[in-house]
């Protein structure tokens, strides 16, 4: 009964509140917007799409905009949004995708001209095993009459060639510092928040153009109604991402157990995946002033392999942290 | 071939356990006429429901049309699949029988009237319909009402015993009484578990049988592992211990977790980190990591024969380096007070993480990296009260948030 009074999370959180709903509202990515708008002119000829680029540059946003513009009001009903890093493997493909694709056939037959097709957005598709990707090939072909796929990935090379060749590929570029700052300023204006220019540049420095991260930092830092460099600094410190930096620092300092406990907190409380941990740990290694970062990175690569092929993730990652501790990196900085 | 396939029963009199129930099913089918109620077989996994229906169809010369939960999501799907069968059944020539497996799996939010449609169809079917289900739930009540229900029970110890004897016979193997009893106890009446357990023991260990003669407690075994002077003695001790190699990737019960050898070694080593030098610690963990790779490969390729080398590899790598370190057994990898703040808190936050992942259109891992803590901060700063997550777990999630707000 009181439902109307409950605030929606998507209205409270600025990342969602300010997520573009039409292609032309998306900043940067102008070429892609133009390309997609052209393709939309002939919806029946729309090819499968593959969006690739780093995190928080608008890939998922554009896929949703596209679905909305193509399918109209009922886009949600006719769009299947799947995140492969949460439902990886062959089972997910078989059950969810195949099923959705075949249900479509039924409804299409009934109303041949009302809706041209439905859309499957397969987000973070590079997290799928190659078996799962291979199984997808057939499904893409079998459902070609009714279904359009939008694949989204960070690393194009992790998508098997046969899928790449069935898609038109769009490479998303980084959002530039000026554009991020400008965008954040507009949000502040809208929200009645005073902001220091330096604070915005500080945000960019930290996020390197990841809009999701940028907007979240901005909002968390804005509690008092104005955003300063110090508040940005504090906000940054609370994220799961910055825990990884702390974990690596502790490990390098040979504080194995403190580092391990923080890692367990990251995995269990924050819910960060083991592979994401290693991915950002690798970034951290190159940010530090190490004598030989490649040596460390090679060790990391070895444990990444073991993580993928071993049975006990916790053992593998703890072994990795212990390896960092024994290198004595601290006394060997350049 | 996996033994669960190798020993899937093929003839209707080859089954062990639930004899009375199977007779009811046979009786029902032989007296079936148009207008008879459909049959619903209730019972836990591994009681032979699916295999039995298959052998039944063969015996009574029916063509079996089999659908399971993943084919049967919603009404339009069901209609498209089932109605043609019911209407045109006579056109197919041969007698048809419809088997709907795992109907308790037809549920969830995407199910637009699947089960209620089923209940209507069932009322007046032209062909025999058999359904199978592991459990009852509220959504099934119409189906339950219009069906004849036969409840299969877990295999009794006696039926389990007969099944084991049958397989041992076929394999020309013998097994001591204690081990047989242990397999029966572990499988808890699930024939599939029974057969898997048997295969593990017969193909996975050195002596073939008598592995679990005398059982040492886990704690005792681990302490001995770290204190024994003689490597052969240690090997012998391990053969008789309850410790085993397993992999969480293939599921992990509480009991398996505590018996998992690598996990027990890991927990004990890291809990004693204060007494171990950095160099040594890195070494020990590196060895565990290597054995973990080896064990997982065995599991992935189902090469259980190779499992017998794991102890040797482990001893070769770990025995010498781990003497005289005073390592004591520990059941967990973190000190007790932290279990609440890390494992339990992690568990309880899960619904919130999942809801945010839907709201923010991104993976739960990205939520953890770039959203969760900012979200909690924003909620703490503002005065929002109860929030709408557009999820059927809204109440639970709001409770979680209240708890999180109370944290310092
Ligand atoms: N190019 C962009 N223009 C405007 N907002 C953007 C852009 N890219 C990302 N965002 C903002 O960042 C958030 C995350 O964007 P998303 O499209 O989900 O990123 P990803 O590229 O990782 O899929 C969105 O909520 C949106 O508000
Ligand atoms: Mg995305």
User: Which CATH number is associated with domain A177-237?
Assistant: 1.10.8.60
pLDDT computed for residue B109 by the predictor: 47
From-to residues of CATH 3.40.50.300 in chain A: 9-171
Pocket flag, ligand 1, residue A174 (CB < 6 Å): no
According to the model, what pLDDT value does residue B362 have? 95
Q: Does the domain at residues A9-171 carry the CATH identifier 3.40.50.1820? A: no
Residue B179 has pLDDT above 70, yes or no: yes
ipTM: 0.92
Closest residue by Cα to residue B393 from B358, B341, B364: B358
pLDDT of residue B250: 63
Instruction: With both helix axes pointing from N to C terminus, report the angle between A177-191 and A211-221 in degrees, rounded to the nearest 10.
Output: 40
What is the pLDDT, as a whole number, of residue A102?
A: 67
Average pLDDT on A235-240 reads: 96
CA dist B357 → B105, B367, B371, B372, B382 (Å): 24, 6, 9, 9, 21
Residue B251 confidence (pLDDT): 65
Please say whether the beta carbons of B226 and B268 come within 8 A. yes
Return d(Cα A223, Cα B377) in angstroms, integer: 9
pLDDT higher at A213 or B306: A213
Token code pair at residue A198: 């330096």
Q: Give whole-number Cα distances, A109 to A114, B114, B234, in Å.
A: 10, 20, 69
Contacts of B382 (CB under 8 A, 6+ apart): A12
What six digits make up the tokens of A112? Answer: 């041949």
Q: Which CATH architecture has domain A242-333?
A: Up-down Bundle (1.20)
Q: Where in chain A is the domain with CATH 1.20.272.10?
A: 242-333
User: Across residues A197-210, what is the average pLDDT?
Assistant: 96
B288: pLDDT strictly greater than 90 = yes
Q: Report which secondary-structure segment, H or E, holds B133.
A: strand B129-133
CB spacing of B369 vs A270 below 8 angstroms: yes
Q: Are B404 and A26 in contact (CB under 8 A)?
A: no
Once rounded to an integer, what is the mean pLDDT over residues B300-325?
89
A40-75 pLDDT tens trace:
888 888 889 999 999 999 999 999 999 999 888 888
Residue with tokens 């992690």: B346
**CA–CA separation, B110 and A96 (whole Å):** 11
Contact yes or no for A103 and B374 at CB 8 A? no
- Quick: pLDDT tens for B329-352: 988 899 877 888 898 899 899 999
Return the H-helix or E-strand segment holding B80: helix B75-87
Mark B47-76 as b/e (b = at least 16 C-beta within 10 Å).
bbbbbbbbbbbeeeebeebebebbbbbbbb
Q: A20 falls in which pLDDT band (50, 70, 90)?
A: very high
Task: Tell me which H or E stretch contains B67.
Answer: strand B63-67
What is the predicted pLDDT for the residue at B71? 66
Distances, alpha carbon B380 to alpha carbons A48, A223, B405, B406, B407, in Å:
43, 9, 6, 9, 10
Query: Model confidence at B213, in pLDDT bands (50, 70, 90)?
Result: very low
CATH 1.10.8.60 in chain A, residues? 177-237
Taking the C-alpha atoms of residue A313 and residue A308, their distance in angstroms, rounded to an integer, is 8
Of the candidates B83, B78, B55, B51, the one whose C-alpha atom is nearest the C-alpha of residue B67 is B78
**Matching CATH number, B18-151, of 3.40.50.880, 3.40.50.300, 3.30.70.250, 1.10.3720.10:** 3.40.50.300
Q: DSSP alpha helices (H): ranges in B205-260?
A: 218-227, 231-239, 254-259
Asked if the model's pLDDT at residue A2 lies above 60, the reply is no
Higher pLDDT, A4 or B1: B1
pLDDT in tens, A107-128: 544 455 545 578 999 999 998 8
- Binning pLDDT at 50, 70 and 90, where does residue B210 land? very low
Name the residue of A30, A151, A212 whose CB sits within 8 Å of the most ligand 1 atoms, as the mutation to test its pocket: A212
3-state class (DSSP) for residue A122:
strand
**Could you tell me if the CB of A56 is within 6 A of ligand 1?**
yes
Cβ–Cβ under 8 Å, residues A32 and A5: no
pLDDT at B40: 95
- In the predicted model, is pLDDT for residue A236 greater than 50? yes
Predicted model pTM: 0.71
Q: What was the pLDDT predicted at A334?
A: 56
Ligand found nearest the CA of A125? 2
pLDDT at position B207: 37
Question: SS3 for A235?
Answer: helix
Residue nearest to atom 27 of ligand 1 (CA): A19
Find out whether A169 and A50 touch, Cβ atoms under 8 Å: yes
Say yes or no: CB of residue A59 within 6 Å of ligand 1.
Answer: yes
For the stretch A154-201, pLDDT in tens is 999 999 999 999 899 999 999 999 999 999 999 999 999 999 999 999
Q: Which atom of ligand 1 is nearest to the CA of A19?
A: 27
* Cα–Cα dist B379/B352, whole Å: 13
Query: Mind listing the pLDDT tens digit for each residue in B90-122?
Result: 555 678 888 988 888 775 445 556 777 777 777
- Spell out a b/e string for A147-175, using b for 16 or more CB atoms within 10 Å of the CB, else e: bbbbbbbeeeeebbeebeebbeebebeeb
């Amino acid at each position: 009964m009181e439902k109307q009074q409950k605030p929606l999370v998507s209205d409270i959180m600025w990342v969602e509140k300010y997520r573009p709903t039409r292609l032309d509202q998306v900043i940067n990515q102008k070429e892609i917007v133009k390309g997609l708008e052209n393709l939309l002119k002939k919806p029946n000829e729309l090819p499968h799409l593959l969006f690739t680029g780093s995190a928080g540059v608008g890939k998922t946003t554009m896929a949703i905009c596209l679905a909305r513009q193509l399918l109209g009001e009922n886009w949600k009903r006719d769009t299947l949004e799947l995140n492969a890093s949460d439902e990886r493997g062959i089972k997910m493909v078989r059950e969810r995708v195949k099923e959705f694709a075949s249900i479509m056939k039924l409804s299409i037959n009934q109303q041949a001209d009302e809706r041209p097709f439905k859309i499957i957005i397969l987000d973070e598709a590079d997290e799928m095993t190659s078996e799962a990707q291979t199984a997808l090939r057939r499904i893409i072909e079998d459902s070609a009459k009714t279904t359009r796929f939008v694949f989204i990935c960070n690393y194009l090379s992790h998508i098997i060639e046969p899928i790449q060749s069935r898609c038109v590929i769009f490479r998303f570029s980084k959002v530039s510092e000026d554009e991020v700052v400008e965008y954040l300023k507009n949000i502040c204006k809208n929200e009645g928040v005073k902001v220091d220019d330096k604070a915005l540049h500080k945000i960019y420095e930290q996020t390197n153009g990841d809009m999701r991260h940028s907007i979240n930092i901005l909002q968390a830092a804005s509690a008092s109604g104005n955003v300063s460099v110090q508040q940005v600094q504090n906000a940054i410190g609370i994220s799961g991402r910055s825990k990884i930096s702390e974990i690596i620092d502790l490990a390098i300092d040979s504080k194995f157990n403190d580092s391990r406990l923080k890692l367990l907190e990251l995995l269990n409380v924050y819910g960060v995946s083991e592979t994401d941990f290693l991915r950002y740990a690798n970034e951290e290694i190159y940010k530090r002033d190490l004598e030989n970062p490649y040596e460390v990175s090679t060790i990391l690569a070895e444990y990444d392999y073991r993580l993928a092929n071993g049975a006990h993730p916790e053992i593998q990652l703890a072994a990795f942290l212990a390896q960092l501790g024994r290198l004595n990196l601290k006394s060997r900085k350049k | 071939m996996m033994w669960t396939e190798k020993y899937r029963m093929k003839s209707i009199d080859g089954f062990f356990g639930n004899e009375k129930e199977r007779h009811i099913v046979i009786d029902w089918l032989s007296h079936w006429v148009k207008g008879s109620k459909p049959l619903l077989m209730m019972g836990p996994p591994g009681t032979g429901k699916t295999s039995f229906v298959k052998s039944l169809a063969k015996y009574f010369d029916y063509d079996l049309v089999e659908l399971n939960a993943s084919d049967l999501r919603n009404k339009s799907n069901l209609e498209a699949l089932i109605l043609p069968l019911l209407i045109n059944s006579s056109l197919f020539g041969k007698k048809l029988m419809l088997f709907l497996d795992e109907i308790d799996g037809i549920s969830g939010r995407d199910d637009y009237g699947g089960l209620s449609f089923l209940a209507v169809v069932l009322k007046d079917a032209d062909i025999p319909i058999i359904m199978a289900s592991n459990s009852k739930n509220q959504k099934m009540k119409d189906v339950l009402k219009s069906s004849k229900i036969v409840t299969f029970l877990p295999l009794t110890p006696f039926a389990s015993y007969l099944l084991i004897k049958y397989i041992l016979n076929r394999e020309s193997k013998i097994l001591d009484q204690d081990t047989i009893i242990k397999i029966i106890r572990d499988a808890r009446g699930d024939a599939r578990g029974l057969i898997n357990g048997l295969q593990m023991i017969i193909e996975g260990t050195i002596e073939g049988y008598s592995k679990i003669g005398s059982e040492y407690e886990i704690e005792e075994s681990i302490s001995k592992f770290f204190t024994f002077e003689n490597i052969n003695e240690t090997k012998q001790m391990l053969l008789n211990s309850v410790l085993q190699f397993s992999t969480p990737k293939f599921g992990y019960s509480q009991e398996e977790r505590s018996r998992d050898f690598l996990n027990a070694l890991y927990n004990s080593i890291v809990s004693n980190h204060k007494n171990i030098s950095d160099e040594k610690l890195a070494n020990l963990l590196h060895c565990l990591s290597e054995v973990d790779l080896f064990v997982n490969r065995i599991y992935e390729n189902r090469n259980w024969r190779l499992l017998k080398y794991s102890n040797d590899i482990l001893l070769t790598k770990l025995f010498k380096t781990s003497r005289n370190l005073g390592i004591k057994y520990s059941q967990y990898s973190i000190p007790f007070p932290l279990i609440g703040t890390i494992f339990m808190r992690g568990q309880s936050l899960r619904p919130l993480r999942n809801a945010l992942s839907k709201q923010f259109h991104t993976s739960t891992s990205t939520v953890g990296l770039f959203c969760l803590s900012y979200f909690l901060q924003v909620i703490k700063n503002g005065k929002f009260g109860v929030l709408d997550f557009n999820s059927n777990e809204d109440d639970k999630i709001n409770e979680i948030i209240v708890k999180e707000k109370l944290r310092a």
